[in-house]
Amino acid sequence: MTGTDPHIVIVGAGQAGLQAAETLRSEGFEGRVTLLGAEPHAPYQRPPLSKAWLMDKLDPEQLTLRDPSVLERKQIDLCTGASVSAIDVRSQAVLLRDGRALAYTGLVLATGATPRQLPQAQEAGDLVRTLRSRADADAIARGLQNCAQMKLPLVVVGGGFIGLEVAASARKLGIEVTVLEAAPRLLERVLSAELSAWYARLHADRGATLIFEARIAEIRKITAHAVEVQLSDGRCIVAGLVVAGIGVTPNDELARAAGIVCENGIVVDPCGRTSVPNVVAAGDCTVRRLLDGTMLRLESVQNAVEQGRSAACALLGTDKPSLGTPWFWSDQYDMKLQIAGLSRGADTHVLRGDMGGHSFSIFHFRESRLVAVDSINAARDHMVARDLIGRQISPTAQQAGDAAFNLAKLRTVQA
C-alpha cells in the first residue's frame, strides 16, 4: 500500500468483510479501518436465517456476530446503512450514495451475492420472497404466520440447501409444504444421486410434497393473502407464501464498473488479489481461477472467513493463500449434513455406515484418490475427512467402506 495516511475501506459488513477487518488488527495494522454495511444491523450470521431465526428460536443477540462495542474497541469504524455507488480506482476513493467520498490506501470488496428472482412472479407481489438478509427472513417469518393462520401451504421453488432448510423449518412449524424442483432430483449440483434420493425420502417422510421436473408457468396474487402457482402441466397450487431458492448472482457490479476483471464474480488469486493494485476481494462475490483454467466459486461461511483473512494479509504485503479443504453444512430437521471437499468429477462412491439409520457417510473418489466426503450426523467422519483431503492422504475404497476401520490412523501412518 501507499499513502501517508493508511486507510483501508471494506465494502460489505458480512462474514468476509468482518473477518478482513479483524485480521487487519490482529496482523498489526495501525491505520484507519472503515467497515461499510448496506444493512442497518451490525454484522450477523446468515446460516440461522433459514432455520432457528424463522422459527423464532434465536434472540437478536445470538444472531449478531460482533456487537458494535467490540468493533469500537478494536478501532474498526462500522458504518451501517452505507450504500456505495461507485469505486474510483484511479483516485483510490469509494463514493457513497449520500455524496460522501472515502479515500483509501487499500480496498476490500466483500459485496456478497443477490438471490435470483422468479421471472414468472411479476404479478405476485410480496407473497413471493427470496432469502438472503435478516429483513428477508423477517418477511418470510411473517409469511409463514400467514400460512398458518390461513391454513394455506408454503411453496418452495428450488430443491437446494436454502429451499430445503426453509421447507424443513416450515414443516417443524406444522405448515404444509410443497417443493418444486426443476431438476429430476434434489441438490443435483452438489450431492450424489444416492444421497439426493435419501433427502427426498427424508422430506417426504416428514410430510413435504415434492414435485420434480416442475415448470412454473405463472405465479399471481389472487387475494391479499394468497397466490396461485400455475404449473405448465396444468396443475395449480394455492399458497400463502412462495419462497424461491434458485441460486444467487455475485455482486460484482461495482467492480465491473471500476474496470476490475470479473467473470461471474470478481476474479481473485488464492490470496484475494484482484486485477487492480491495492484492491482485494473476498466471499460470495469472488471467483478463483484454478491451475487447470477452470473457475471456482464457493458460497460458504468457511470460504468467506478464509478469503477475508487472506485478502487482509495481501493488503499488508503477506501471502497467506486460502487453500484449505472446502467444507459446507446444512441442518434439515434433526439431520446435519457436513460436506468436506468437492465431489465433482468423482467416479467412485463408497458408503460408510447404514443409510437406513441416522448416521453415515459417503466417500467420493476420483481415480482412486479421495476428493470429498458427505456425512450425515457423523461429525467424526467429517473432521477426519477434512484433514485427510487437506493433506492429500487417501484411504482405499475398502478402508472407507469399513466402519470398523479407524481412518484417523492414516494421518500418523502417512505423516
Label residue 223 by pLDDT band (50, 70, 90): very high
Q: What is the 3-state secondary structure (H, E, C) of the chain?
A: CCCCCCEEEEECCCHHHHHHHHHHHHCCCCCEEEEEECCCCCCECCHHHHCCCCCCCCCHHHHECCCHHHHHHCCEEEEECCCEEEEECCCCEEEECCCCEEECCEEEECCCEEECCCHHHCECHHHEEECCCHHHHHHHHHHHHHHHHHCCCEEEECCCHHHHHHHHHHHHCCCCEEEEECCCCCCCCCCCHHHHHHHHHHHHHCCCEEEECCCEEEEEEEECCEEEEEECCCCEEEECEEEECCCEEECCHHHHHCCCCECCCEEECCCCECCCCCEEECCCCEEEECCCCCEECCCCHHHHHHHHHHHHHHHCCCCCCCCCCCEEEEEECCEEEEEEECCCCCCEEEEEEECCCCEEEEEEEECCEEEEEEEECCHHHHHHHHHHHHCCCCCCHHHHHCCCCCCCHHHHHCC
- Grid cell, residue 13, equals 459488513
Residue 306: the pLDDT is: 97
Rounded CA-CA distance 287/281 in Å is 9
Q: What pLDDT is recorded for position 187?
A: 97
Q: Is the pLDDT of residue 1 over 60?
A: no
pLDDT tens-digit map of 36-88: 999 999 999 999 999 999 999 999 999 999 999 999 999 999 999 999 999 99
**Is the pLDDT confidence value at 290 over 90?**
no
Mean pLDDT confidence for 385-397: 96
Q: What is the pLDDT of residue 92?
A: 97
Q: What is the pLDDT of residue 2?
A: 46
- Is the model's pLDDT at 415 over the cut of 90? no
The cell numbers describing 392, all together, are 492429500
- pLDDT given at position 292: 78
Closest CA to 78 of 146, 145, 134, 22: 22
What pLDDT shows up at residue 3?
A: 47
Is residue 17 a contact partner of residue 11, using CB atoms and an 8 Å limit? yes
Predicted confidence at residue 4, as pLDDT, reads 65
Query: Per-residue pLDDT for 293 more than 90?
Result: no
Q: What is the mean pLDDT of residues 124-148?
A: 96
* Residue that is written with C-alpha cell 476490475 in the block: 260
Confidence of residue 117 (pLDDT cuts 50, 70, 90): very high
Domains and their CATH numbers in the chain = 7-114+248-316 (3.50.50.60), 119-244 (3.50.50.60), 334-410 (3.30.390.30)
Average pLDDT value for the chain: 95
142: which residues sit within 8 A by CB, 6+ positions away?
none
pLDDT for 162: 97
pLDDT computed for residue 123 by the predictor: 82
Residue 239 pLDDT more than 50? yes
CB under 8 Å to 323, separation ≥6 — which residues?
Answer: 270
What is the mean pLDDT of the segment spanning 334-357? Answer: 95
Interval 91-103 mean pLDDT: 97
**Predicted confidence band of residue 357 (pLDDT cuts 50, 70, 90):** confident
Res 413: pLDDT? 63
Phi, psi of 296, rounded to the nearest 5 degrees: -125, 125
Q: What is the percentage of the chain residues whose pLDDT exceeds 90? A: 93
Q: How confident is the model at residue 115 (pLDDT cuts 50, 70, 90)?
A: very high
Work out the pLDDT band at 412, boundaries 50, 70, 90. confident
pLDDT in tens, 167-214: 999 999 999 999 999 999 999 999 999 999 999 999 999 999 999 999
